[in-house]
C-alpha cells in the first residue's frame, strides 16, 4: 500500500501537464470544429471539399500516427526548420496539443454537424425572417443543437483526456510519461500502471459526473422553454 501512495504522489506531478494538454487540445478542437461546421453547413465552395477531406484524413487515421507525423515530420524539411514555425514545431508539448486539437476538432465537427442537421428548418427560416446574419443564424442553431450534443460531446472530452496519454510517446512527462519512467526504474509494472490507470479513472469519472449535471440543467432549461 505504501508503494501505491508513493507512486501516486509522483504521478500527480504530471497532472498539470496532462490537464494542460487536454484543456488546450479541447479548446483548439472546439475552434476547429466551429469553423469546419460553418463551412459544411453553408457548403462553401472548395472549402467544403477541403473540410470533408480533412475529416476523412483525421478520423481515418490513428491519433498516435498523427502525433508522430506532426512531431517528427517537419524535421524532414529544411525549409520548415529555417522558418519561424520551427520554434513551435520542435517543441513536443506544442505538437501534442496541435495533434490532439486537430483530432478532437474533426470528431467534434461530426457531432456538431449531426446536431445541426437535427435542428428544425423552421428555426433557420425564422432567423432569416428576422434579418439575422449567417453567423447569427448559425449561433442560434448551435445553441439549440448544444443541448442535444452534450451527451456525445462528454464522451469526446473523455476520449481526449485518455488520448492525451499518447503524448508520453514524444518524451512529455505527463502522468503516463512519469509512469513509464518509474516503471523503467523499478520494473514494478502492475503497480505503477495500476496507479496511473486509477488516476485516469478518477478524472474521467469526475468529468462524466460534471457533464451529467450540465446535461440535466440543459434539459431542464429546454423543458421550461
Report pLDDT for 143: 72
Report pLDDT for 133: 75
Report pLDDT for 222: 53
Query: Which residues in the chain land under pLDDT 50?
Result: 224-225
Domains of the chain: total? 1
Report pLDDT for 130: 76
CA-based nearest residue to 32, from 132, 90, 103: 103
74, part of any domain: yes
45, part of any domain: yes
Report pLDDT for 194: 95
State which residues form the domain around 145: 2-220
Report pLDDT for 221: 52
146, part of any domain: yes
96, part of any domain: yes
Report pLDDT for 112: 86
225, part of any domain: no
End-to-end CA distance of the chain: 52
82, part of any domain: yes
pLDDT tens per residue, range 14-55: 999 999 999 999 999 999 998 998 899 888 889 999 999 999
Report pLDDT for 30: 94
Report pLDDT for 153: 87
66, part of any domain: yes
Report pLDDT for 145: 72
Query: 99 and 70 in contact (C-beta within 8 Å)?
Result: yes
CATH number of 62's domain: 1.10.3720.10
Amino acid at each position: 500500500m505504501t508503494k501505491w501512495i508513493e507512486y501516486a504522489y509522483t504521478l500527480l506531478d504530471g497532472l498539470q501537464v496532462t490537464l494542460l494538454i487536454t484543456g488546450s487540445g479541447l479548446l483548439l478542437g472546439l475552434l476547429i470544429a466551429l469553423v469546419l461546421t460553418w463551412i459544411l453547413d453553408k457548403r462553401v465552395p472548395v472549402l467544403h471539399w477541403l473540410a470533408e477531406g480533412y475529416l476523412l484524413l483525421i478520423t481515418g487515421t490513428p491519433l498516435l500516427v498523427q502525433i508522430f507525423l506532426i512531431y517528427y515530420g517537419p524535421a524532414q524539411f529544411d525549409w520548415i526548420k529555417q522558418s519561424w514555425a520551427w520554434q513551435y514545431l520542435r517543441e513536443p508539448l506544442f505538437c501534442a496539443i496541435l495533434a490532439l486539437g486537430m483530432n478532437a476538432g474533426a470528431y467534434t465537427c461530426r457531432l456538431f454537424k449531426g446536431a445541426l442537421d437535427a435542428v428544425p428548418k423552421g428555426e433557420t427560416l425564422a432567423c432569416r425572417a428576422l434579418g439575422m446574419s449567417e453567423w447569427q443564424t448559425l449561433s442560434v442553431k448551435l445553441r439549440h443543437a448544444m443541448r442535444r450534443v452534450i451527451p456525445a460531446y462528454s464522451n469526446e472530452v473523455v476520449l481526449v483526456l485518455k488520448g492525451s496519454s499518447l503524448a508520453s510517446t514524444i518524451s512529455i512527462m505527463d502522468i503516463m510519461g512519469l509512469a513509464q519512467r518509474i516503471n523503467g526504474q523499478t520494473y514494478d509494472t502492475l503497480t505503477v500502471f495500476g496507479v496511473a490507470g486509477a488516476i485516469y479513472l478518477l478524472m474521467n469519472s469526475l468529468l462524466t459526473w460534471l457533464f451529467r449535471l450540465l446535461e440535466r440543467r440543459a434539459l431542464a432549461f429546454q423543458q421550461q422553454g
